[in-house]
Every structure is written in structure tokens, then in C-alpha cells.
Amino acid sequence: MKVLVTGAGRGGTNLLTELIRKISDLKFTSSVEDRNFFKKELPNKYATKLATEHPTFTIENLENKIKSNDDLKICMVLRNPIDNCLSKIYRGRPKSQGGDKPNEKISEDATEKTCVDAIEKTYKILSFLNEKHKDKLLVVTMEDIITETEKVVSKISNFLSIEPKEYEGFQNNNRNVYQKKRYKNKLNENQINLHKDLKNSYGGFFENKPIKDNLEKSLSDIIKEYKKF
């Protein structure tokens, strides 16, 4: 069996990766993200994550990968689309602006337009998988990983046909140094429903700005899809 963890960047892919690493015997790549996923042959028990924003992540490449790997399973994580975009915009900025970037360059997906484009791409891939390869797809939400971990572990174990190991403390193994600081020894529920409290979320960075309303309009159809999960 091989496993790909995917979803939009800043949408919970690291959390889901670490949860699956904790409860399974899969051989995850030493690098958190294998950016050569679509260019290599996959060994047995191989697992990695690759965000849907990566330029090689196309429906055509995904279809070819599935065809050449009958045992490939895809675990996708979704986050509230508005929260996902707010996180992209804020954390995609340099440290001097309160973000995670070690340099002064703003991430490509850290503008209103580009973060919406990224989320739309994720849902196009999700739609393709639901239509063509539903048996190979598991979808969970970042919110459930944080608030209903046991339920998510049960879904994963059933999907991967494994007897799960203990999952407690999985977030402590996060290889993203910034996320490790945010979650530390517990799952941080402050990362949920950020759009409902713009006064306090991200130090008030989005308060009195039209970004939330703009995102709600741009992502109205996707928000409806997200609520199904």
C-alpha cells in the first residue's frame, strides 16, 4: 500500500501526515513533502504528502499515478475555506509582517486572488477523485482532526485497513517548526473558526478589512461543498 496525503497548503496537511505517521507502519519520506512524487516509482509502504498547489499536481498526473499504482490511497484534508485563505494570506508573509516567512518575499498564494485560486484547484481535484476514484479517497477536515481526533483515527484505520497504534501526542512530531510551536503539547482549538473573530484572530490583522466578505463571495460554492464534510 502507498499513501498520499494532500489538500491545500495551510489546510491541515501536516497534521494529517503526522497523525497517519503515528498510527501506521507506513514509511513516510524523510522530507515532509515529496515534490518528486509524480516523477518517480513508488516503493511498497511508501507515504508522503504533497499540497495541491504544487505545479506538478495536475489531474492528468494524478490519473496516471493512480493507474500505475493500484494500491495508492489518497487522504485529503479540508479546512474551512475562509480560515484556509486567511491563514495563507497572513502566514505567507515575512516575519517582519508577523508571518512565517524567513525572507521578505510574500508567498505566491498569500493574496486574495491567489489563495482563492489555490482553494479552487483543491476542490477541482477533490471533484475528480470523487467522480473517478472514490474508493481510493478519504476526506477528513482539519477541524475534526483537532476536535474529534479519535473519530478521525477510526476513519483512517478503516480506510487503510490497519490496526492503529496510540495516537496521543502525534502533533508533537510535527516537522514544520512553526506549527510545532503553535500546537506544542496540545491540539490548539484556536486554529478553528478564525473568521468568526477577526478582532482577535491573527492579532486583529484582518479586522475592519473587507477580505472576509470578499472571500465569502468568491468561495460561496466551495463553502457549500466544504459544509458537506
Q: How far is CA 119 from CA 27, 115, 225, in A?
A: 28, 6, 12
Least confident of 93-107, 111-125, 209-223: 93-107
pTM, two decimal places: 0.92
Q: Are strands 137-141 and 72-78 parallel, antiparallel or unpaired?
A: parallel
Tens of pLDDT, residues 140-167: 999 999 999 999 999 999 999 999 888 8
Residue 104 is predicted with a pLDDT of: 84
In the predicted structure, residue 126 carries a pLDDT above the cut 70? yes
Q: Are 222 and 81 within 8 A, CB to CB?
A: yes
**All 3 cell numbers of residue 21?**
505517521
In DSSP notation, 4-44 reads: EEE-STTSSHHHHHHHHHHHS--EEEEEEE-TTGGGSPPPT
Q: How far apart are CA 4 and CA 189, in angstroms?
A: 26
Mean pLDDT within 126-141? 98
How many helical (H) and strand (E) elements, i.e. helices and strands, does the chain have?
9, 5
Tens of pLDDT, residues 88-106: 999 998 878 767 777 888 8
| Ordered domains of the chain (ranges, CATH) | 2-226 (3.40.50.300)
Residue 181 is predicted with a pLDDT of: 59
Q: Chain-wide mean pLDDT for the chain? A: 92
Least confident of 74-83, 126-135, 179-188: 179-188
In the predicted structure, residue 188 carries a pLDDT above the cut 90? no
